DNA sequence: TCCCAGGATCAAG
DNA sequence: CTTGATCATGGG
């Protein structure tokens, strides 16, 4: 077997602070379907500048002293394709985010968030590659388990996305374009993907994006409040889904999606158990943590899910 | 059979 | 502005 893998490394010097690749990718962030895992490598397939890439990442070392090994396949391989992939990876893993600054700013022992730092050091937010994909995945996640919305997303890709083949003999389906989903019907989406009542929302959003009634890129440029107002007008998009899209999709670090887990742990750690609405919890996170609200949410979420016995 | 899953919607209080 | 039933669907 002679597979023409390209390979290179991203050194720690190109990352701003620590990184725990495994924890980051496994943390089930709702911007895109979860990556596959092959041995010590995490694998994903994306189309970058119109060229399909299949890439595998593996981290060697510790969160504070490491390098990232990258292997990839693409139909074209010249010097610029490697550059395209490198900047893509740095973008989706948010390697420029100053994690040490995040830790230092909230390291006081009176700050409950600091409880999550020792175990989760190096955990980073991820940024979705495609805004439409991020919004659809966020919609699929509502009232659904992570495993299940991932299955649905995969079915959506298989039935409506383009198939791409690679030199190692494998093939994958890309996430579909809005227009290709918009051509479908509610019943067809349900029978093919089992997304249930979310089909109405998915179809609605796909049509609006395809018809240019909804400009997702504009939501990335405008402020938080304005973007939120527009998103809430979409059927099937509430505060939590909108925040997911803003955080994981557009990369708005002020957005802090509040689900049952976040609501539970914030109520416990910051409200002394006093009852509050989720909207109030979300506002609290934005006010208290500012540009680190999204990160605070990420750390508290993982902490709440893995260490619930400590806060029960 | 009932309950839950990283919620949203609609109708009432 | 808050609360409660309902919404497909699959798994425990």
Please check the confidence at residue A310 and state whether its pLDDT lies above 60.
Answer: no
In chain A, where does the domain assigned CATH 1.10.1670 lie?
260-310
pLDDT-derived band at A75 (thresholds 50, 70, 90) equals confident
Least confident of A34-38, A53-57, A78-82: A78-82
The pLDDT score that the predictor gives to residue A4 is: 77
Q: Write the pLDDT tens digit of every residue in A102-149.
A: 999 999 999 999 999 999 999 999 999 999 999 999 999 999 999 999
The CA–C1' separation of A149 and B3, in angstroms, is 19
Residue A124: count of CB within 10 angstroms of its CB: 27
User: Has domain A260-310 been given CATH number 1.10.1670?
Assistant: yes
pLDDT-derived band at A308, boundaries 50, 70, 90: low
Write out the residue limits of the CATH 3.30.310 domain(s) in chain A.
6-96
Is the distance between the Cβ of A143 and the closest atom of strand C smaller than 7 Å? yes
Q: Are the CB atoms for A10 and A72 separated by under 8 Å?
A: no
Please state whether strand B lies within 7 Å of residue A257 at its CB atom. yes
Domain A131-218 CATH (choose: 1.20.1290.10, 3.20.20.10, 1.10.340.30, 1.10.10.60): 1.10.340.30
> How far apart are the C-alpha atoms of A186 and A197, rounded to whole Å?
9
Cα A62 from chain centre: 23
Whether CATH 3.40.190 fits A6-96: no
Q: Is the pLDDT reported for residue A6 higher than 80?
A: yes
Give me the CA A48–C1' C6 separation in Å, rounded. Answer: 42
**Could you give the residue range(s) of every CATH 1.10.340.30 domain in chain A?**
131-218
pLDDT tens figures, A221-267: 999 999 999 999 999 999 999 999 999 999 999 999 999 999 999 99
Q: Tokens 């919004």 — which residue? A: A135
Centroid of chain to Cα A4: 30
Residue A30's pLDDT band (boundaries 50, 70, 90)? confident
Mean pLDDT of all residues belonging to chain A: 95
- The pTM (predicted TM-score) of the whole model is 0.96
DSSP chain A: -----EEEEEEGGGSSS---HHHHHHT--TTSPPPEEETTEEEEEEEETTEEEEEEEEEEEETTEEEEEEEEEES--SHHHHHHHHHHHHHHTTTTS-HHHHHHHT--TT-GGGGGHHHHTT------S-HHHHHHHHHHTTTS-HHHHHHHHHHHHHHHSPEEE-TTS-EEEPPPPHHHHHTS-HHHHHHHH--TTHHHHHHHHHHHHHTTSS-HHHHHHS-HHHHHHHHTTSTT--HHHHHHIIIIIS--TT-----HHHHHHHHHHHSTT----HHHHHHHHHHHHGGGHHHHHHHHHHHHHH-HHHH-
Residues 6+ apart with CB under 8 A from A309: none
A2 pLDDT band (50/70/90 cuts)? low
A189-219 tens-digit pLDDT? 999 999 999 999 999 999 999 999 999 999 9
Separation between the CA of A95 and the C1’ of B2 (whole angstroms)? 45
Q: At what angle do helices A293-306 and A260-270 cross, to 10 degrees?
A: 100
pLDDT of residue A91: 97
What nucleotides of chain C have any atom within 7 angstroms of a protein Cβ? Answer: 1-3, 7-10
Structure tokens at A99: 């994690």
- In this prediction, residue A305 carries a pLDDT of 84
- Position A302 pLDDT exceeds 90: no
Task: Examine the pLDDT at A174 and tell me if it is beyond 80.
Answer: yes
């Amino acid at each position: 077997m002679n597979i023409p893998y390209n390979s290179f490394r991203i050194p720690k010097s190109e990352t701003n602070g620590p990184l725990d690749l495994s924890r980051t990718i496994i943390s089930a962030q709702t911007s895109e379907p979860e990556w596959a895992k092959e041995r010590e490598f995490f694998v994903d397939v994306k189309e970058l500048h119109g060229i399909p890439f299949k890439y595998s990442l593996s981290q060697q070392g510790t969160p504070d002293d490491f390098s990232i090994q990258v292997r990839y396949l693409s139909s074209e391989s010249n010097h610029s394709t490697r550059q395209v992939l490198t900047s893509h990876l740095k973008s989706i893993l948010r390697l420029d985010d100053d994690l040490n600054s995040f830790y230092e700013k909230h390291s006081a022992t009176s700050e409950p968030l600091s409880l999550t730092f020792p175990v989760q050091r190096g955990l980073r937010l991820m940024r979705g590659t495609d805004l439409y994909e991020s919004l659809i995945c966020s919609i699929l996640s509502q009232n659904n388990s992570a495993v299940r919305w991932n299955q649905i997303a995969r079915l959506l890709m298989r039935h409506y996305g383009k198939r791409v083949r690679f030199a190692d003999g494998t093939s994958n389906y890309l996430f579909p374009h809005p227009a290709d989903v918009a051509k479908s019907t509610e019943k067809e989406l349900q029978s093919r993907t089992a997304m249930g009542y979310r089909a109405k929302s998915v179809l609605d959003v796909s049509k609006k994006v395809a018809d240019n009634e909804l400009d997702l890129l504009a939501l990335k440029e405008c402020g938080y409040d304005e973007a939120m107002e527009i998103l809430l007008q979409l059927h099937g998009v509430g505060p939590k889904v909108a925040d997911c899209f803003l955080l994981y999709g557009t990369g708005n670090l002020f957005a802090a999606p509040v689900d049952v887990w976040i609501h539970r742990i914030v109520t416990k750690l910051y409200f002394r158990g006093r009852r509050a609405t989720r909207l109030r919890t979300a506002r609290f996170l934005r006010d208290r943590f500012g540009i680190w609200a999204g990160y605070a949410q990420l750390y508290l979420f993982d902490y709440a899910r893995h260490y619930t016995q400590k806060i029960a």
